Amino acid sequence: MSSSRLVPRLADMGTTIFAEMSALAVRTGSINLGQGFPDVDGPASIAQAAAEAIRTGKGNQYPPGPGIPELLEAIASHQRAQYELHLDPYSQILVTAGATEAIAAAMLALVDTGDEVVALEPFYDSYRATITMARGRCVPVRLSPPDFELDEERLRGAVTDRTKVILLNSPHNPTGAVLSRGELEAVARVAIEHDLVVVTDEVYEHLAFDEPHVPISTLPGMAERTLTISSAGKTFSFTGWKVGWATGPVDLVDAVRTAKQFLTFVSAGPFQYAVAHGLNNEMRWVTGLRASLAARRDLLAKGLAQLGMEVFYPGGTYFITTDVRPLGESDAMALCRGLPERCGVVAVPCSVFYETPGPAERAMVRWTFSKQEHVLTEALDRLNSLSASWRP
């Protein structure tokens, strides 16, 4: 059967680990520190704006393909206010069904059969899948613990004459690493030298805790070759609304728009009005979210370290990764599949984020701290109940 033309090319990618683990959490009534989503919704005024849009018939029918003017203008203002990036709202911005669609549309638009996309490994799960859908090849550049720094020589070593795109992600899921200005400059050097497009997934742009976020498109020579992707899901804690966007030079945005037209055409009509309201009025709330998440990062990092794991302290995102070998565990997949039954906690094994995980990668677990403090404390208590079965 496996050689049959009837077996879809993507079949061996199976169900995403996030879906599997969230279903497991529901089935076992566990605390879900697996899939990254907040357990408290974003600002009430944004939810009201969505309800009001639906009630008054805004966006209930197909909105304009590239996005509603109110949202395009709000994204342009946001890029200007945050980063001094000046974009034409009508030719340099595209609203998508979450960042997920922007990533898929970008890969379908920019990658041809056999083209290579250099991506930071561990990678967010949709990267390899969408590169495969485009019949391209994903070439990993490994970020190694404890700091997950991007090494310029490793990056250079991954680039060939088939390379078309460097796919970045900072702040980085799953490691929580934030690329420094120096690392971004190295990427820019390589991209310019080899005339590559950079697609950069910056959905956690507002969840960099220790230093201000630097979009790579702000570096000299990069605006004209960078497609930047972001999402309201993480910024405003409405991950279910799936409002994302891609911004950049006209030709790149045009190409992505063409692919997007035939994926969803349009999406999230009323929510687009609500996100425009958020970008225009609720950025102070986002500052508060960042501070509160940083505190929850610290709480979870400390608790996991006290349990005896090696904690790789993240600079951003929703996530902490740990090495569980100090606990006497070597198989994070088995550990994560067993934890719900053993103590009612769900987490994600990092092996799924690697092409060929070795022993170290197979012993890494990702935990989200995008939950309320008391939920994190309860999860740590539950994990602590296993301490007798763990080595330290």
Residues found near ligand PMP in the complex (CB under 6 A): 36, 98-100, 124, 169, 173, 201, 203, 231, 233, 239, 242, 244
Which member of 32, 79, 92, 173 binds ligand GLN (CB under 6 A)?
A: 173
Looking only at residues 63 through 92 of this chain, which bind ligand GLN when binding is defined by CB under 6 A? none
CB of 163 to ligand GLN, least distance (A): 26
Lookup: tokens for 248 = 């950049």
Binds 175: which of ligand GLN, ligand PMP, none (CB < 5-8 Å by kind): none
DSSP label at residue 322: E
Binds 59: which of ligand GLN, ligand PMP, none (CB < 5-8 Å by kind): none
Lookup: tokens for 84 = 């001094």
DSSP label at residue 54: H
Binds 35: which of ligand PMP, ligand GLN, none (CB < 5-8 Å by kind): ligand GLN
Size of the site for ligand GLN (CB under 6 A): 5
Tell me whether residue 348 or residue 380 sits nearer to ligand PMP (CB atom).
348
* Rounded Cα gap, residues 261 and 164, in angstroms: 23
* Rounded Cα gap, residues 225 and 5, in angstroms: 38
Sort 154 into a burial class: Cβ within 10 Å, 0-12 / 13-18 / 19+. middle
For 191-219, b/e burial (b = at least 16 CB within 10 A) is bbeeebbbbbbbbbbbbbbeeebbbbbbb
* Rounded Cα gap, residues 195 and 188, in angstroms: 10
H or E stretch covering 166: strand 163-169
Tell me whether residue 22 or residue 173 sits nearer to ligand PMP (CB atom).
173
Is residue 319 within 8 Å of 169, Cβ to Cβ? Answer: no
Tell me whether residue 21 or residue 139 sits nearer to ligand GLN (CB atom).
21
Q: Does 390 bind ligand GLN (CB under 6 A)?
A: no
Tell me whether residue 171 or residue 303 sits nearer to ligand PMP (CB atom).
171
Tell me whether residue 273 or residue 354 sits nearer to ligand GLN (CB atom).
354
For the sheet containing 93-97, what is the strand order? 93-97, 243-247, 226-231, 197-201, 163-169, 116-121, 137-142
Is residue 63 within 8 Å of 230, Cβ to Cβ? Answer: no
Binds 218: which of ligand GLN, ligand PMP, none (CB < 5-8 Å by kind): none
CB of 254 to ligand GLN, least distance (A): 27
Q: Rounded to 5 degrees, what angle do the CA atoms 376, 379, 381 make?
A: 110
Q: Does 130 bind ligand GLN (CB under 6 A)?
A: no
* Rounded Cα gap, residues 24 and 30, in angstroms: 8
Q: Does 244 bind ligand GLN (CB under 6 A)?
A: no
CB of 318 to ligand GLN, least distance (A): 7
Tell me whether residue 96 or residue 163 sits nearer to ligand PMP (CB atom).
96
CB of 264 to ligand PMP, least distance (A): 12
Closest CA to 380 of 322, 300, 310, 308: 300
Closest CA to 259 of 116, 114, 104, 126: 104
Tell me whether residue 207 or residue 300 sits nearer to ligand PMP (CB atom).
207
CB of 1 to ligand PMP, least distance (A): 33
Looking only at residues 10 through 39 of this chain, which bind ligand GLN when binding is defined by CB under 6 A? 16, 18, 35-36
Tell me whether residue 127 or residue 307 sits nearer to ligand PMP (CB atom).
127
CB of 350 to ligand GLN, least distance (A): 11
Tell me whether residue 285 or residue 367 sits nearer to ligand GLN (CB atom).
367
**Cα dihedral sign for 176, 177, 180, 183?**
negative
Binds 18: which of ligand GLN, ligand PMP, none (CB < 5-8 Å by kind): ligand GLN
Sort 221 into a burial class: Cβ within 10 Å, 0-12 / 13-18 / 19+. exposed
Tell me whether residue 72 or residue 119 sits nearer to ligand PMP (CB atom).
119
CB of 21 to ligand GLN, least distance (A): 9
Sort 360 into a burial class: Cβ within 10 Å, 0-12 / 13-18 / 19+. middle
Q: Does 231 bind ligand GLN (CB under 6 A)?
A: no
Residues in touch with ligand GLN (CB under 6 A): 16, 18, 35-36, 173
